[in-house]
């Protein structure tokens, strides 16, 4: 993937202002909405079972996040995913805490097996658990990763016919055939609540500007662009931050002011296989 393509996709997001329907972690709803606004997208946070299907059909993409689960939210995610599939609206799924409790494992498995997902994005331990590579999850945080993660990711993406994203110190993206490593970012991203949730929403924004029948390769390239833009913004924010509090504010500003040229110059994307 050429770095210029990342710049072009960022411009597409800022030109089209894609509406992204988020059912996300209730702890960070406001943060996710602000991150989407800063990058140039239009967020909607709808949770009512009575309207989520209609909202999904009106959106450019859907981002579903398991951060704070209860039966009503799970039902809302299912209604949303069903409507999105019917309307060919791409779904980005974030299996937060998969591998931590049986309930989270059950919900994640159901969402993955029952619905067509364009992207599954989790931290390395969550993805490791889902693909059978192992991984240790403490609450919603990764504290251990299996050795066979990358190979299993590629195999799982091919079986599920979707793009798999595993984020950590190094991020990995696969479309089931190719595997890329992404090495931008900053350690302060791990010190704020909702860093992964923000990224899931931003991936939704980028996926929302490409064709509905896009190939998995195109979706993977779009995920690479979204992740790289987010991580470069994190690097820029860290230059002026004195800690997690100032970093979060600086991150919104960095996303807002981010230029395609800067991202192209700083992008660290490598095709692994």
Judge whether 121 is annotated as a binding position. yes
In degrees to the nearest 10, what's the CA dihedral of 207, 148, 156, 121?
-30
Q: Which residue has the tokens 């309307």?
A: 87
Judge whether 194 is annotated as a binding position. yes
- Max CA-CA distance within the chain? 47
Enumerate the β-bridge partners of residue 125: none
Q: What is the DSSP string of 223-268?
A: HHHHHHHHHHHHHHHHTT-SSHHHHHHHHHHHHHH--HHHHHHH--
Evaluate whether 126 touches 146 at the Cβ level (below 8 Å): no
Of 172, 171, 174, 169, the closest CA to residue 154 belongs to: 174
Tell me whether residue 210 is exposed, middle or buried, using C-beta atoms within 10 angstroms of its C-beta: 0 to 12, 13 to 18, 19 or more.
buried
Residue 221 CA to residue 5 CA, distance in Å, equals 8
| Pairing of β 91-94 and β 61-65 | parallel
Residue 142 CA to residue 140 CA, distance in Å, equals 7
Of 20, 195, 21, the closest CA to residue 123 belongs to: 195
Residue 2 CA to residue 63 CA, distance in Å, equals 26
| Binding residue ranges for ATP | 121, 167
| Binding residue ranges for substrate | 45, 194
| Binding residue ranges | 45, 121, 167, 194
């Amino acid at each position: 993937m050429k770095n210029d393509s990342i710049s072009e996709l960022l411009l597409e997001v800022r030109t089209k202002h894609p509406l992204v329907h988020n059912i996300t972690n209730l702890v960070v709803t406001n943060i996710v909405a602000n991150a989407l606004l800063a990058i140039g997208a239009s967020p909607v946070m709808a949770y009512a079972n009575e309207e989520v299907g209609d909202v999904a059909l009106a959106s450019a993409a859907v981002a579903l996040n398991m951060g704070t689960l209860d039966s009503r939210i799970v039902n809302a995610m299912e209604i949303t995913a069903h409507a999105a599939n019917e309307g060919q609206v791409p779904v980005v799924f974030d299996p937060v805490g998969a591998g931590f409790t049986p309930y989270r494992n059950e919900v994640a498995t159901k969402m993955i097996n029952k619905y067509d997902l364009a992207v599954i994005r989790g931290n390395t331990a969550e993805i490791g658990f889902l693909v059978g590579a192992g991984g240790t999850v403490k609450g919603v945080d990764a504290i251990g990763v299996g050795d066979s993660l990358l190979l299993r990711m590629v195999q799982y993406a091919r079986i599920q016919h979707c793009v798999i994203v595993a984020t950590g110190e190094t991020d990995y993206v696969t479309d089931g055939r190719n595997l890329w490593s992404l090495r931008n970012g900053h350690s302060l991203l791990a010190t704020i609540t909702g860093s992964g949730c923000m990224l899931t929403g931003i991936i939704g924004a980028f996926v929302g500007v490409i064709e509905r029948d896009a190939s998995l390769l195109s979706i993977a390239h779009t995920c690479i662009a979204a992740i790289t833009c987010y991580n470069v913004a994190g690097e820029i924010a860290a230059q002026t931050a004195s800690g997690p509090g100032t970093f979060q504010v600086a991150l919104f500003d960095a996303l807002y002011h981010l230029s395609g040229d800067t991202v192209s110059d700083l992008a660290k994307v490598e095709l692994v296989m």
